Structure 1
Amino acid sequence: MDKNFSNIEEIIADEQFLAWYFGSENSGRQQWEQWLASNPHQASLVAEAREYLDQLVIREETVPEAQVSNAEKKLMNSIEEWETTIAAMPFAERAPVRRLARWWWTAAAAVVVAVSAIWLFRTEEKPALVQTAFGEMREQQLPDGSKVTLNANTEVTYTHGWEKGKEREVWIKGEAFFHVAKTPEKSRFVVHTSKFDIVVTGTQFNVVNREDKANIMLTEGSVTLLTSDGKSMKMVPGDFVEVNKQQIERKAGREENVLAWKEKKLFFDNTPLYIALEKIEEHYGVKVTIGNVNCRNVPISGILPNDNLNVLLDALDALYEFHVIRKNGEIIITQ
């Protein structure tokens, strides 16, 4: 997929971006995710386009198809009228006016495209989807005032408009930190993962739900873990629990280590190199290979910056005398 966007208007007109933004279950969404992972230099522009659509979606009410069509016709009529007016001007005055007109047409067209997309993708109510790309973080406020901070490559879904007194349900794939608001009705807040559920009323915790691992770190309040086979465990602040094959196990876990990602850092404490590189792959969606088997278990300790892949790799190179090779989209680490 060969794409190179220069502005957000081009992005919000892209069907695959819209499929990704609205969480559609089709090939367009997967193709966009693959393109985004291969083009990290465009992540900031994509984030701007998403924020632009976020503002439209928040204010959006159901727009009839006829109303969208009329808006498009009015836009085209306005463009034709501007062209007629500009053509009647003296030649020397046309250029600056035409540049201004083109800027206005581009902005107006972007709004029409965005509203049309909202109408197209939201003809039926779907759960709200919040997601992050590789190398990205995002904070989202939920309908009850609770806040969730998403780590890279994470999806959180929830139903629209939580009713008072009813359970507040969220589904997560990836990693996120929840700050759950208490409600007067003390309604339960339930986070669903593929391996367990977390039941709370008001608390703060970090949860990981990825293919190869699932865990929770509780920082405040109390929660109850429930597995699909009926096992349960109550947690208190400071507890770190892993769930593997329906087995719930308390383990040693340092809060500053687990939550370092919120500060855009990676925390290592005698961590073998291959595990450290797995974290990098997970966060940035890149392939990292150890070129020399002898350095596979070299221990890594310290706090490294994690807001830029190149800076992170340079830090590894400088601090531990690793040699970093970038070749054909792959990163090779040798010593």
Structure 2
Amino acid sequence: MNETIYKQTVRALFEGRATAPQKSMILDFLSVPENQELYFLWLEEWELQNPQIIADTDPAYFRLIGKSIAPESHTPTPPATPRNWFWLMGIAASVTFLLVVTGYLFRDSILHKKYTTAYGELKSLVLQDGSRVVLNANSTLTVPRFDFGKKSREVQLSGEAEFSVTHLPNNRRFIVRTPDQLEVQVLGTEFMVYSRARGSKVVLNKGSVQLRSLKNKDTKPLVISPGDVVTVSKQGSLTLSHNQSVAAHAGWKDHHFTFQDTPVSQIADQLNETFGVRIIIADSSLSKRTLGGTFKAETADDFLQVMSDILGVRIIPGTGKTPETYTLTY
């Protein structure tokens, strides 16, 4: 992507001189989430440089209909006629329509900011209220763009993250919501939330949090204490375990994987979540074998080599497939 060309094209849109191909180019540019952040940065920069825009209506109209403008002369510009105003109203209506359509299509990007991580990537964030977040691989955190901490502190998480929430003088609650309708409410504490296709899990390090499943109305809110781990079923039921090792659940921050008699089939699921690889287990007896211990791996190949050494299995990489595929066999 040539950022300079896109920036010039976006500025042309702000100034009302973008052509139809340029507008199409901008819509393609905005279809990529990362580019939406650039768009708003350029908009803010342009607004600061142009605090007041005085429209030159006749040249704008001629540019709009594709006609050339006569060479500049020193003859005073005649006063606006009804036809001039008609042209101006038409241009204003077109611009208003474009703004409405853009606002509708990108309303979520306008109101929210998304932080994402790729497979195998970790990312540390500091939110507007001072709270800190560490995002695990293949995760997305959605945060309100305006007045975060003043009016609300609600975020949405898909994936896995550790939160260190700052307590505010106004006692504003911090709420994490997940795709499976789990709601985690806190004031100031440290905890981890896991939310993927296999289900959700909350691990509390410090303070206290309240969990509530909006999917199952029969499930009462649950308040947990440090060392507690809560797993959420697909039906929304909450299962509480006390006195768990928080460090074992937080190892991903250092690229550590901790297992305790974990079946190979579940390990394969975790590798898919973290690295985006597909694991084919050739033998049903192999899928039931278990693995225990803590292992450091920053790539799928690193971990698969460990599995090969410990379990005595062969790892056969696929060829030309997406996602990257590996077969485990004896």
Q: Distance in 1 between matches of 2:207 and 2:42?
A: 34
Q: Distance in 1 between matches of 2:175 and 2:197?
A: 20
1:179 aligns with 2:170: no
Q: Which residue in 1 is equivalent to 2:290?
A: 299
1:275 aligns with 2:266: yes
Q: Which residue in 1 is equivalent to 2:177?
A: 192
**Considering only CA atoms, is the larger Rg found in Structure 1 or Structure 2?**
2
Q: Which runs of 5+ in 2 are unaligned?
A: 8-24, 51-104
Give the structure-2-normalised TM-score.
0.66
Q: Which residue in 1 is equivalent to 2:199?
A: 213
Q: Distance in 2 between matches of 1:16 and 1:155?
A: 22
SS at match of 2:227: coil
1:137 aligns with 2:122: yes
Q: Distance in 2 between matches of 1:254 and 1:165?
A: 35
Q: Distance in 2 between matches of 1:257 and 1:11?
A: 46
Q: Distance in 2 between matches of 1:127 and 1:171?
A: 10
8 Å CA contact 1:133, 1:153 repeated in 2: yes
Q: Distance in 2 between matches of 1:176 and 1:247?
A: 21
Task: Let me know the Cα RMSD of the aligned residues.
Answer: 3.4
1:322 aligns with 2:304: no
8 Å CA contact 2:277, 2:300 repeated in 1: no
Match of 2:44 among 40, 44, 61: 61
String of CA shifts for 1:161-218, please: whole Å, max 9, x gaps.
3355533110111111111011121211111113211111100111011122111000
Q: Distance in 2 between matches of 1:9 and 1:152?
A: 30
**Alpha carbons of 1:259 and 1:212: their partners in 2 closer, same or farther (altered >3 Å)?**
same
1:290 aligns with 2:290: no
8 Å CA contact 1:148, 1:178 repeated in 2: yes
After TM superposition, the runs of 4+ consecutive aligned structure 1 residues lying more than 4 A away are 7-18, 56-60, 120-124
**Alpha carbons of 1:8 and 1:307: their partners in 2 closer, same or farther (altered >3 Å)?**
farther
Q: Distance in 2 between matches of 1:317 and 1:9?
A: 48
Pairwise CA distance, 1:235? 0.8
Q: Which amino acid aligns with 1:235?
A: I
Match of 1:234 among 219, 223, 247: 223
The alignment-based identity, stated in percent, is 26
Alignment coverage as a number of residue pairs: 249
Q: Distance in 2 between matches of 1:218 and 1:206?
A: 6
1:64-143 equivalences under 5 Å are: 125-143=110-128
